[in-house]
Amino acid sequence: MAEAAIIDSLKKARIEELLEQGKRLDGRAFDEFREISIETSAIPKANGSARVKIGDTEVVCGVKIQPDRPFPDSGDKGIFICTAEMLPLSHPTVETGPPGPHVIELARVVDRGIRESHMIDVSQLVIKENKSVVGVFADNVVVDYDGNLFDACSFAATAALRSTRSPKWEFKDDAPALVEGSEADLPVGTIPVSVTMVRIGQHILVDPNADEWQCMDARITITTNSDGNICALQKGGHNGFTLEQIKECGKTSVRIGAEIRKKFDGISAGSDAKQ
């Protein structure tokens, strides 16, 4: 992913030169996202789904719900798993085969952001304690790449989960049995919003595109919840941040996160909204 695009050294110089003048190559303010479009119920065969675009980055997330055995150490909780994958058509350098460290990190960071926000109340996803629980699987696929996959996948999963209608099961004859014609919303609460920032020189940029991603010294992804608290964070990249920069990124993530969260408010099961 990060190794994907080979950036022209002239372009890198141009990006850095512009930053010194307080500008970005595509004209955005330092703390400005590209246009975000969220389309829910994009895949009717999934229990919930969303297609999210941030600029030219495009991610599709589908949620599938099925009964599953609980993890041995948490028989009183349902299962939530969020994955992410880069499709070979998303960029010329992406190859088929098992995921590399970048993609594994992507999937784990997106999963952690949603999990740690407690968006999904897994205690309500129990069919029969220690025997059978509901598994919620949110699978992201990257269709087109232009940087900032962390936020694109996180937004797609969040939107898809909010639009999910779940079938119901009851425990009969030692097995979960589908209750025909019965559906419910997922027990979703807080809305996690991840905000990814990169540092290029002394400048912190929100929502880096592929070119900016390629020039970055370091990056940080911070997820906030509806209370404006921070619930997950991941620093990456080949360099570091100062304490002041880390604090500033925290504040930015809370502020920008609150703005973006409004886009999710209108999304619920049954709304085929294009936001």
For 66-125, give the DSSP string. Answer: EEEPPPTT-TTS-EEEEEEEE-GGG-TT--SSS--HHHHHHHHHHHHHHHHHT-B-GGG-
Contact between 104 and another protein (CB under 8 A)? yes
Contact stretch for another protein (CB under 8 A) within 36-44, 99-107, 154-162, 200-208: 99-107
Contact stretch for another protein (CB under 8 A) within 3-11, 15-23, 104-112, 176-184: 104-112
Task: State which of residues 15, 54, 156, 232 lies at the interface with another protein (CB under 8 A).
Answer: 232
Contact between 124 and another protein (CB under 8 A)? no
Nearer to another protein, 177 or 230 (CB): 230
Task: State which of residues 22, 95, 174, 238 lies at the interface with another protein (CB under 8 A).
Answer: 238
Task: State which of residues 6, 35, 97, 243 lies at the interface with another protein (CB under 8 A).
Answer: 243
| Pairing of β 175-185 and β 193-200 | unpaired
Using alpha carbons only, give the angle 244, 228, 164 rounded to the nearest 5 degrees. Answer: 130
Nearest by Cα to 66 from 189, 175, 191: 175
Contact between 229 and another protein (CB under 8 A)? yes
Q: Is residue 199 classed exposed, middle or buried when 0-12, 13-18 and 19+ CB atoms within 10 A define those classes?
A: buried
Give the C-alpha separation, 227 to 233, whole Å: 16
Contact stretch for another protein (CB under 8 A) within 49-57, 177-185, 205-213, 244-252: 244-252
Tokens encoding 93 = 């350098």
**3-state per-residue secondary structure call for 134-179:** EEEEEEEEEEECCCCHHHHHHHHHHHHHHCCEEEEEEEECCEEEEE
Task: State which of residues 3, 35, 73, 95 lies at the interface with another protein (CB under 8 A).
Answer: 73
Neighbouring C-beta atoms of residue 29, cutoff 10 Å: 11
Contact between 239 and another protein (CB under 8 A)? yes
* Shortest distance, position 105 Cβ to another protein, whole Å: 5
Nearer to another protein, 100 or 266 (CB): 100
- Binding site residues, another protein, CB under 8 A: 73-74, 77, 101-102, 104-105, 107-108, 112, 115-118, 218, 220, 225, 228-243, 246-247, 250-251, 254
